[in-house]
Structure 1
Amino acid sequence: MTDWTDRPGEPPPEWAPRQEPPAPSLAPPPSTRTAPLPGMPSPAAPGRYASGVHARGGRGSRNRRRPSRSRRFLRTAAVLSSVLLLAGAGTYVWADTRLNQQVDLGTLSGRVPRGEGTNYLVVGSDSREGLSQQDRKELNTGSAEGRRTDSVILLHTGANGTTMLSLPRDSWVTLPPYLDPDTGRSYRAAPNKLNAAFSLGGPDLLVRTVERNTGVHIDHYAEIGFAGFVGVVDAVGGVDMCLDKPVRDEDSGADLPAGCQTLDGAEALAFVRQRKQEAQGDLGRTRNQQKFLAALARKAATPSTLADPSKSFPTLRAGLDTLIVDEETELPDLMSLFEAMRKAASGGGRQLNVPVADPDLRTSKGSAVKWDDRRARALFTALREDRPPR
């Protein structure tokens, strides 16, 4: 045997003189290996060491096998999945902490009992908060302070599907007794328009008024202002709408041709606010609002977006600045709300208007919308009992 194949620890032959073993060397000795004789197996693979600290697989080996391509792929996929999960969780936490939960439904008095299913009161207000003077001019919003309702939608979800019910803001209803928060003066129950409840007592009085006149318990409240509405539409890249006729309204600034087109935030706001050219006035406006919200929900509230909050980050960021909700509403509740709107918009639910007996009722407060009491009562009872409306 040659020196490089001797087994470590084997005693030297007796005739060899006794000597101190040399200090171990970290570098392998130069190879003097020659080709084996015919018929002799090679003691080790060429260039490899059969024993010692540098043997293949031993401690300190510098020739470790690289991970296979499939293993590297799995590791990369695992890292990316972790990053995506963290991003989604981060977006979720960020959005949940940004919710403006300023409405406390738990403190309201004279409320109706809970029914079956879940009911959301969705309000579009004309709040100018977040708009500069230039924005107000370009959007034709005027300069009025405070906020009033531009749309009121009662959204019901339950075992029998989703119902999106528009309540005209000019509906002639009975306001419950209330206390003016600015003057401290008390007022008795009295007839008035639905949007008066919002302007006189804010979300609290609006919720109590809706419950008093429908008998439907409101579980969650969500309100968005002009700036948030425009921001959401722009964040999703505009909304596709097909109009049967041109829409032109000087007050709202709407100037849209007939046919299919993509509305940006400013155009969309003008479209849902206009009512002067609608034959049925406020009723026509509520139909336009439902039509637009259906198109917006189809684009913004897709199943993949709802399942992954990080995908909805631009939309959430655009809307949260002017979004007001009740104290019990959290991000999962908003996701359920968006999903319900998407279902109603895609044929998986119902889009209705409250039954009307007179769209132009003359009152001391001007023209108002009078509900058809019998049919409206039947509709509200069906929602309260979570039955499909007839």
Structure 2
Amino acid sequence: MVQSPSSSGPGAAEQRRPRLSSRRRRILLTAAYVAVAAVAFGASLAFTMAWRLVSGLTVDEEQPEPGDVVAPPRVEVRPDEPFNILILGTDAGLLEDGRRGARRSDTMMLASYDPLTGGLSILSIPRDTYVEIPLDRLDEQLHRYIRENPTKITHAHAFGGPAVSMAAVSHLLNVPVHRYVRVNLEAFVNIVDLMGGVYICVPKPMHYEDPYQNLYIHLQPGCRVLNGNEAMQYARYRQDSDLARIARQQEILRALVQRGLDLGIIPRLGQIVDEIVRQVDTNLSESELVHLVAVAGRMAAGFSPDEIVMNTIPGRDGWMNGVYYWLHDEEGTRQLVDALIWRLTPPPDTVVQVLVRDASGPGGAGSRVAESLRQHGYNVEVVVDEVPVDETIVLIHHGDETMGKVLARAIVNQTATARVYAEPDDSAPADITIVVGRDYVQNQQ
């Protein structure tokens, strides 16, 4: 049977609050005003202002917090690939002597921004998801524990902090996890209060108590503005199912985004930023913070929280050694990641015709590319070129150029050489032509 990590293990130490420089606070506060200015005065002006702040900024050298096995990695981000940030909401159990214990991740969401499409998505991961944690992130004591016990993904943070959580999520979803943001419950409550609460319709009486987690939930049904403590109760209620709890967390997140678009928060921006700096831990650099806020400002005018695509990894209930787990559906998860993060699925009610020219030589590589595209909803025809070519290319004939770039990116992930060319041709039999070259085969070997 799975036991929680020992209070004497690497996750047991009380984590100190990150101390961010006053310079970072000034940058973050200025960037926040820039985002609000985008709503009031126009995104292009705000975006220009934000990028003026970037010059001269340096990336912080992150150090592991007490209880974190290693410092979280800074994974390189390619300019055309989605930027993935793991959002961790941590709890803190009470040990027998009343001290705080190892912090598990009560909430895990992978937020992804796609620079090609401008799309923002959030993929929630149930805390009880069965996962294999990469052992290279752990010390020898935990090596033995992991080998002998099935593991829930919520334990990854207690085993070694954000670095282990990032590695576990990357392994689970087969995507790079570039950065993390870690929020504790106190920060969540205070930030919601500073933003003026969130409007939520509580559908039923909610009552639940767990002294071990210092969790006391008592909510009555009805539509109203919830304060920070009430919003925390609503998000953590767990008397129905983990999937229902995740849906409530996503509902709270949408409500917070909606509140953030309200110009009425301007007088409280300084307090909100102070609370974020005091309580929120991240390995985002100053320049990345400014860039993300600038992107948010650019999107803010006319933006609706409903434009954020949210989903949860699919799976089923399961038991091992008498312990409950969420057993994720590997194929369903892969399809969801392709659709939400890589944006490989065509827009609804859109027919995209693709011609795959196999110029890779013997082996049928073009047919494999075509079958993969068909699985994602494209209409595909394959022809075989008699003369092989060295380089894989993508030709955009008509329609949305973004879709061609998305397909090229999918091929780049496998060949690292695919190039995109605009070749308008109203007489072309397809919207997009993909010429599969020998480099595709070489990189598959």
Measure the CA separation in 2 of the matches of 1:336 and 1:146. Answer: 36
Q: Does 1:269 align with 2:232?
A: yes
In the TM superposition, what whole-angstrom CA distance separates every residue of 1:6-37 from its partner, at most 9, and x where no partner exists? xxxxxxxxxxxxxxxxxxxxxxxxxxxxxxxx
AA aligned opposite 1:298: Q
Unaligned runs of 5+ in 2: 1-24, 34-56, 65-70, 347-375, 377-445
Cα deviation for residue 383 of structure 1 reads: 4.2
Residues 239-250 of structure 1 aligned to structure 2 (within 5 Å) = 239-250=198-209
Counterpart in the other structure of 1:147: 103
Residue 316 (structure 1) aligned to one of 268, 273, 276: 273
Measure the CA separation in 2 of the matches of 1:340 and 1:152. Answer: 27
Residues 56-205 of structure 1 aligned to structure 2 (within 5 Å) = 91-92=29-30, 102=63, 104-106=71-73, 116-127=81-92, 144-158=100-114, 159-160=116-117, 161-180=119-138, 191-205=150-164
Inter-CA distance 102–376: structure 2 relative to 1 (3 Å threshold): same
Cα deviation for residue 155 of structure 1 reads: 1.1
In the TM superposition, what whole-angstrom CA distance separates every residue of 1:175-233 from its partner, at most 9, and x where no partner exists? 11135459586777774211121111211111011111111111221110011111101
Aligned pair count reads 281
Maintained 8 Å contact 1:192/1:365:
no
Maintained 8 Å contact 2:258/2:304:
yes
- Corresponding residue SS for 1:237: coil
Inter-CA distance 90–347: structure 2 relative to 1 (3 Å threshold): closer
Q: Among the aligned pairs, what percent are the same residue?
A: 26
**TM-score normalised by structure 1 residue count:** 0.61
Counterpart in the other structure of 2:196: 237
Measure the CA separation in 1 of the matches of 2:131 and 2:298. Answer: 27
Q: Does 1:297 align with 2:260?
A: no
Cα deviation for residue 331 of structure 1 reads: 2.8
In the TM superposition, what whole-angstrom CA distance separates every residue of 1:117-156 from its partner, at most 9, and x where no partner exists? 211111111158xxxxxxx9xxxxx853231101000111
Residue 216 (structure 2) aligned to one of 231, 247, 253: 253
Measure the CA separation in 2 of the matches of 1:155 and 1:338. Answer: 13
Inter-CA distance 143–291: structure 2 relative to 1 (3 Å threshold): farther
- Corresponding residue SS for 1:194: coil
Maintained 8 Å contact 1:101/1:327:
no
Measure the CA separation in 2 of the matches of 1:384 and 1:247. Answer: 34
AA aligned opposite 1:199: A
AA aligned opposite 2:82: G
**TM-score normalised by structure 2 residue count:** 0.54
AA aligned opposite 1:323: V
AA aligned opposite 2:102: G
Measure the CA separation in 1 of the matches of 2:298 and 2:222. Answer: 28
In the TM superposition, what whole-angstrom CA distance separates every residue of 1:307-354 from its partner, at most 9, and x where no partner exists? x8x862221112322211115364325536867998996221311111
AA aligned opposite 1:296: L
Maintained 8 Å contact 2:198/2:255:
yes
Cα deviation for residue 386 of structure 1 reads: 3.3
Residues 19-30 of structure 1 aligned to structure 2 (within 5 Å) = none
Measure the CA separation in 1 of the matches of 2:232 and 2:126. Answer: 17
Cα deviation for residue 387 of structure 1 reads: 2.9
Measure the CA separation in 2 of the matches of 1:94 and 1:385. Answer: 28
AA aligned opposite 1:168: P
Q: Does 1:367 align with 2:324?
A: yes
Cα deviation for residue 93 of structure 1 reads: 8.8
Counterpart in the other structure of 1:335: 293
Maintained 8 Å contact 1:164/1:344:
no
Inter-CA distance 284–184: structure 2 relative to 1 (3 Å threshold): closer
Larger radius of gyration: 1
